[in-house]
């Protein structure tokens, strides 16, 4: 009985959350509408309806999906590449002092050079093809993931490690069976942060050097003064980012919720 | 109750003139000085002392977490150099449990390290889960357990690994009085069942009198050391209101009182 009540409370919580999101977005669009129609009254700031209509048209023509998929594919590739490098490096920095001494200057150096500043170099090195964008996303992902992974390793409780040692664990077992699982929530949090950086980076990169993607769509729309297209791209970015971040949070909860009641 | 109260046999653990000086930003601090103790196999030794007198420091050295800066510690005649599966530790807090594992998998952790198969490991873990009175709670994660339950899991985890001795650092210190009394009773029963050698740290005189075959009272630091050893030759289970119990309690209380009195 108690269990049933808890379950249904969780479901009601979830419904409330979703209801809240819908109401929040509705309010946002309402304010946008009011601001555009009654306040700004300019063709440079279209109200939501024409923008949504234009968006629907672009979807029917298959154009919007194409741009979205182009951008998301780059994000996914760079993000996975960056995480695949960042996680082991972060683990090594957190676990071994010499590696920390050696690599910390690197991370501390590069994390202050934003990916946006690397666009020009990246275009010179890789051209305006896929490689330059994937490189930039990987770049923006790596350092965030490294830093939060290394911090996670450092935060593993001393008693957890000692307990394993006096149960007979060797160095590798301490690493693989204690330090690593204890660090998972930190890794996932780092990846979540990196994901939002990736959205910033991909738009900037596509604005400057690309043949497709949402950033390119923004750029073209500006050139041809298609103001509705600009807003379609902006709304698409916001919604995509929101959806991605929610899914990430959902994953973190699913995988790491039991690690810590406060996640 | 076949236990040995004095070091008639060859000692299982022998601390010989052990000292520990910490050197840090605030200079050197001699936490423990000239600490000598022989513990016989099967005895339940309570180390009793006021806060900061060096109890944890002694336990950490026996566990092999920290090295003495003077003297030596022998286990079965061989010097202690690092932590090992022969000394199971129950920690003061419960941060040592693995949040990502179920209670049962926490208990079976040491067995897994040794490569024991899943079925056998599970059966053994269930056995120790039952021993600490948590039958049916094995699927829960530490975040779903109360403080007392977590300490039970810690004890079961240490026991499942079948160590030569148990080192317990104020394991019940953070529990309410009722839970503490229940767990003391169960620990006493488990000790009689398993015949483990126990080094048990506490600052609770009654707890020491209820559990120990010998009580070591520590002098407060700097240079904390053993001040007196009081043998407790009372049968188990201990009757806490008996005259005999009160006599031991008063004796230990007198020793501790001097310590507290000296502090202020
Ligand atoms: N790593 C350390 N560095 C410096 N000093 C330390 C360190 N660990 C302990 N000490 C000091 O050694 C003394 C003894 O500490 P210890 O933790 O052994 O006390 P305790 O008897 O376990 O106290 P409590 O009952 O409060 O747990 C204290 O004065 C403490 O400040
Ligand atoms: Mg202590």
- Does residue B223's CB lie within 6 angstroms of at least one atom of ligand 1? no
What is the rounded average pLDDT for all residues in chain A? 88
pLDDT along chain B (264 residues), means of 10: 48 93 88 94 94 93 95 93 94 89 95 93 94 90 90 93 94 86 90 93 93 93 87 89 92 84 57
Kindly state the tokens that stand for B51.
């806060």
A82: pLDDT strictly greater than 50: yes
B73 Cβ contact list (under 8 Å, min separation 6): B13, B14, B15, B16, B18, B61, B62, B79, B80
Q: Which residues contact A37 (CB under 8 A, 6 or more apart)?
A: A47
Q: Which residues of B touch A184 (CB under 8 A)?
A: 100
What integer pLDDT is reported at residue A13 of this predicted model? 80
CB contact under 8 A, A163 and B84: no
Tokens of B75: 């286990």
Q: CA A104, A145, A98: angle at the middle one, nearest 5?
A: 30
Structural domain boundaries in chain B: 99-162
- Ligand 1 atom closest to the Cα of residue B53 is 21
Question: What is the pTM (predicted TM-score) of this model?
Answer: 0.82
At residue A128, the pLDDT reads 82
A257 touches chain B (CB under 8 A): no
Phi, psi of B229 (to 5 degrees): -120, 125
Taking the C-alpha atoms of residue B151 and residue B134, their distance in angstroms, rounded to an integer, is 11
Beta bridge partners of B231: B214
For residue range A154-165, list pLDDT tens digits in order. 999 999 999 999
Which residue in A92, A114, A118 sits closest to A103, CA to CA? Answer: A92
Record: contact A162-B85, CB cut-off 8 A: no
Q: What is the pLDDT of residues A175-206, one digit of tens each?
A: 999 999 999 889 998 999 999 999 999 999 99
- Tell me if B61 CB under 6 Å of ligand 1: no
Q: Answer whether B88 touches A (CB < 8 Å).
A: yes
Beta carbons of A181 and B141 less than 8 Å apart = no
DSSP helix/strand/coil, A231 = helix
- DSSP secondary structure letters along chain B: -----STTS--SEEEEEEEEEEEETTEEEEEEEEEEEEE-TT-EEEEE--TTSSHHHHHHHHHTSS--SEEEEEETTEE--S--TTEEEE-SSSTTS-TTS-HHHHHTHHHHHTT--HHHHHHHHHHHHHHTT-TT-TT--GGGS-HHHHHHHHHHHHHHT--SEEEEESTTTTS-HHHHHHHHHHHHHHHHHH--EEEEEES-HHHHHHH-SEEEEEEPSSSBEEEEEEE--PPSSP-TTSHHHHHHHHHHHHHHHHHHHHH-
A3 pLDDT above the threshold of 80: no
pLDDT at A74: 94
**What pLDDT digit, counting tens, does each position of B148-168 carry?**
899 999 999 999 999 999 999
Whether the pLDDT of residue A5 is over 60: the answer is no
Q: What is the pLDDT of residues B186-228, one digit of tens each?
A: 899 989 988 899 999 998 999 999 999 999 999 887 888 898 9
- Cβ-proximal residues to A150 (8 Å cutoff; 6+ apart), any chain: A90, A91, A93, A94, A100
Interface-testing mutation among A166, A179, A187, A256, with chain B (most B C-beta atoms within 10 A): A166
Q: Whose CA is nearest to atom 6 of ligand 1?
A: B22
Mean pLDDT of chain B: 89
Nearest to A197 by CA among A91, A74, A109, A79: A79
The ligand placed nearest to the CA atom of residue B31 is 1
> What is the predicted pLDDT for the residue at B174?
82
Is residue A208 pLDDT above 50, yes or no? yes
List, for residues A9-58, the tens digit of each pLDDT value.
667 788 888 899 899 999 999 999 999 999 888 888 899 999 999 999 99
């Amino acid at each position: 009985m108690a269990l049933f009540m808890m379950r249904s409370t969780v479901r009601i919580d979830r419904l409330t959350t979703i209801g809240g999101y819908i109401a929040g977005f509705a309010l946002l669009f309402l304010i946008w509408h009011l601001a555009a129609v009654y306040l700004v009254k300019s063709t440079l700031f279209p109200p939501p309806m024409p923008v949504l209509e234009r968006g629907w048209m672009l979807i029917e023509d298959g154009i919007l999906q194409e741009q979205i998929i182009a951008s998301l594919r780059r994000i996914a590739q760079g993000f996975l590449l960056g995480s695949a490098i960042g996680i082991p490096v972060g683990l090594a920095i957190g676990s071994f002092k010499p590696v920390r001494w050696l690599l910390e200057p690197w991370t501390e150096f590069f994390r202050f050079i934003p990916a946006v500043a690397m666009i020009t170099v990246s275009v010179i090195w890789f051209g305006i093809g896929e490689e330059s964008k994937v490189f930039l996303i990987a770049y923006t992902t790596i350092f965030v993931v490294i830093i939060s992974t290394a911090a996670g390793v450092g935060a593993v409780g001393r008693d957890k490690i000692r307990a394993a040692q006096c149960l007979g664990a060797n160095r590798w077992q301490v690493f693989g069976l204690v330090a690593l699982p204890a660090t998972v929530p930190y890794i996932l949090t780092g990846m979540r942060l990196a994901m939002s950086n990736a959205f910033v980076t991909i738009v900037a990169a596509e604005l400057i050097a690309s043949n497709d993607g949402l950033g390119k769509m923004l750029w073209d729309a500006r050139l041809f003064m298609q103001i509705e297209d600009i807003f379609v791209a902006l709304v698409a970015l916001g919604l995509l980012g929101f959806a991605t971040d929610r899914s990430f949070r959902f994953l973190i909860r699913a995988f790491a919720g039991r690690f810590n009641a406060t996640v | 109750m076949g236990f040995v109260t004095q070091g008639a046999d060859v000692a299982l653990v022998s601390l010989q003139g052990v000292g520990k000086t910490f050197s840090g930003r605030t200079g050197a601090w001699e936490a423990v000085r000239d600490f000598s103790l022989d513990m016989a196999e099967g005895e339940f030794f309570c180390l009793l002392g006021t806060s900061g007198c060096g109890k944890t420091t002694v336990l950490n050295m026996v566990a092999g977490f920290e090295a003495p800066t003077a003297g030596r510690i022998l286990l079965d005649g061989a010097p202690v150099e690092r932590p090992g599966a022969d000394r199971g530790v129950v920690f003061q807090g419960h941060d040592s449990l693995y949040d990502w594992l179920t209670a049962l998998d926490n208990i079976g952790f040491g067995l897994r390290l040794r490569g024991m198969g899943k079925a056998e490991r599970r059966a053994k873990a269930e056995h120790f889960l039952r021993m600490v009175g948590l039958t049916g709670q094995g699927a829960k994660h530490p975040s779903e357990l109360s403080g007392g339950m977590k300490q039970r899991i810690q004890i079961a985890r240490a026991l499942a690994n079948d160590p030569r001795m148990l080192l317990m650092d104020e394991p019940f210190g953070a529990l309410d009085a009722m839970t503490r009394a229940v767990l003391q009773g169960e620990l006493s029963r488990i000790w009689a069942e398993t015949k483990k050698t126990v080094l048990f740290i506490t600052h609770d005189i009654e707890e020491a009198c209820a559990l120990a075959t010998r009580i070591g009272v520590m002098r407060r630091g700097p240079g904390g050391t053993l001040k007196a050893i009081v043998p407790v030759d009372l049968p188990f289970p201990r009757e806490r209101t008996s005259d005999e119990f009160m006599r031991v309690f008063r004796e230990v209380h007198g020793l501790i009182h001097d310590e507290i009195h000296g502090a202020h």
